Structure 1
């Protein structure tokens, strides 16, 4: 089974693996600032596009990195503690992957099956109801990582939470260390669609690789480029600051902020396609449509509008409610 190895700046150790050749532009620049977390997709967005509900947060004290840092300072949590290191890394990974259209949430509890982050991946062509389901395990370990981690992730996928038990769910292993040959071999052998990402503790993506099962899910257009960013405005420092950036068909992947804006605009267009200028609660509208058309919403016209006969049925039902 072929493993797509995208490993710029770190060097592959075996010719067994097939490289995806993508253009590398050393002169291109990309900022390293993290995208702010905006509590992601609304419950209505998830309902409209049939996306899984956001999983329960493992803590009521924080749901992003700044909140966690404030909380850790308030309770004097040692920075060397396992809880601090692990939680800090999970939030760092969550924030980094948001730049590549992944909407992730920390999860926890006795039934989390070892999963640290769960969410959806809104790649071009997968922005709405076609978004991939994603389960992530973060391994902020200093020790050498072996193929047992791949087997652990496979076990977690077999016990995926409700909403992620689909044929469109990928598993992702994230670590600040490079994948060993044993890990790469295990990825290649796996019958599950799996990714490995090396993300350093400061959020820099240094390595990304995935197996052929992931490509079979429609991810063949995914690739990488090396990117450089200035640290203090000097050319010399820009040479030192580089990372791997994920691309789609050779172009930048819109970040999650852009995806959320697109989905909100689509929601507004969807509402107008049914009730035009009438003011109506979106959830009430969706409830009514599902009641009037229990077999599913009718197809839209080529111009994206809804047939007038269907509009009138829904408006009549709204007026009778």
Structure 2
């Protein structure tokens, strides 16, 4: 029988899901700014697909949604308010773990609430995982049918997400039931479950063996306790879990974006000329034409080999 592996050496029966909890008394939370999308050039350079148009012209993050809801007097108890609020909360919270997500929920969302890319260490640039997310802000008990719904999104995903490097994530403010865990373990798709409370706190994360086959062996979960006392009488500490990579904190999405811009600058300089923005676009187009299977490899000093550089710059001048 396969077992659910726990960091403290205990075992739970019946699953091939990875679900690690360890105790760490140091508080090390990071707070990402509101998502600022990458430029079309940066996305093209690093082969990051652009998300479809947002479903609303009135809001694109939690702050603008709250303003819009107040302006139109949208009841905070309505299904639309609760669902949209939770989706934006999840989107903002998961940036902390290098997930760049976009809300696409609407009539034609094919069951997908959020989609984007996951820039884990060793995957910061063009090898970033594609991600499909379903958010279930439900008070009722969640069953294995939700896993089947998530599997269906793979077949209806936008073109840029129909790859062998795409993972599906179910997010809910409730813990995964045994039925959900069993369904995740049996699935032939790479799937995650994340329990994210309505305030954005991550409380549970688990994933199946198929997801780990995508090179996610170093991914782990660490339980951390805050310094704030949640209950003055009991003296209990607030706690949440955080995702780690090879035992270290995962750089948040803001750090990833800064890294991509740095790599972009290095790429332009590797051609030996200071190119303005318009020529930068033309340069990339020529590189993609001459090297359709991938860009030429730069040397240890970050400089492209002379033979490739001369070929590209000559085509650029022409």
Whether TM exceeds 0.5 here: the answer is yes
Q: Distance in 2 between matches of 1:264 and 1:87?
A: 31
Question: 1:84 and 2:68 equivalent?
Answer: no
Range 272-281 or range 176-185, more displaced: 272-281
Structure 1 length-normalised TM: 0.90
Question: 1:139 and 2:136 equivalent?
Answer: yes
* Aligned counterpart for 1:157 among listed residues 135, 154, 157: 154
5+ residue gaps, structure 1: none
Compared CA separation, residues 221 and 4, structure 1 to 2 (3 A)? farther
Structure 2 length-normalised TM: 0.91
Q: Distance in 1 between matches of 2:313 and 2:263?
A: 20
What SS does structure 2 have at the residue aligned with 1:70? helix
Q: CA deviation at 1:43?
A: 1.3
Question: 1:176 and 2:197 equivalent?
Answer: no
1:1-321 aligned within 5 A? 14-17=12-15, 24-31=22-29, 34-231=31-228, 239-281=236-278, 282-294=280-292, 296-320=294-318
Q: Distance in 2 between matches of 1:192 and 1:19?
A: 13
Q: Distance in 1 between matches of 2:93 and 2:193?
A: 14
Q: In the TM superposition, what whole-angstrom CA distance separates every residue of 1:74-115 from its partner, at most 9, and x where no partner exists?
A: 111100000100000000000111000000000034332100
Q: In the TM superposition, what whole-angstrom CA distance separates every residue of 1:206-245 from its partner, at most 9, and x where no partner exists?
A: 0001100001111111111111223479999984311010
What SS does structure 2 have at the residue aligned with 1:29? coil
Range 225-234 or range 310-319, more displaced: 225-234
5+ residue gaps, structure 2: none
Q: Distance in 2 between matches of 1:223 and 1:283?
A: 39
Q: CA deviation at 1:294?
A: 4.7
Q: CA RMSD in A?
A: 2.7
Q: Distance in 1 between matches of 2:166 and 2:67?
A: 34
Compared CA separation, residues 266 and 4, structure 1 to 2 (3 A)? farther
Compared CA separation, residues 35 and 5, structure 1 to 2 (3 A)? farther
Compared CA separation, residues 79 and 23, structure 1 to 2 (3 A)? closer
Range 101-110 or range 115-124, more displaced: 101-110
Q: Contact 2:18 / 2:206 at 8 angstroms: preserved in 1?
A: no
Compared CA separation, residues 21 and 287, structure 1 to 2 (3 A)? closer
Q: Greater relative contact order (Cα 8 A, min sep 6): structure 1 or 2?
A: 1
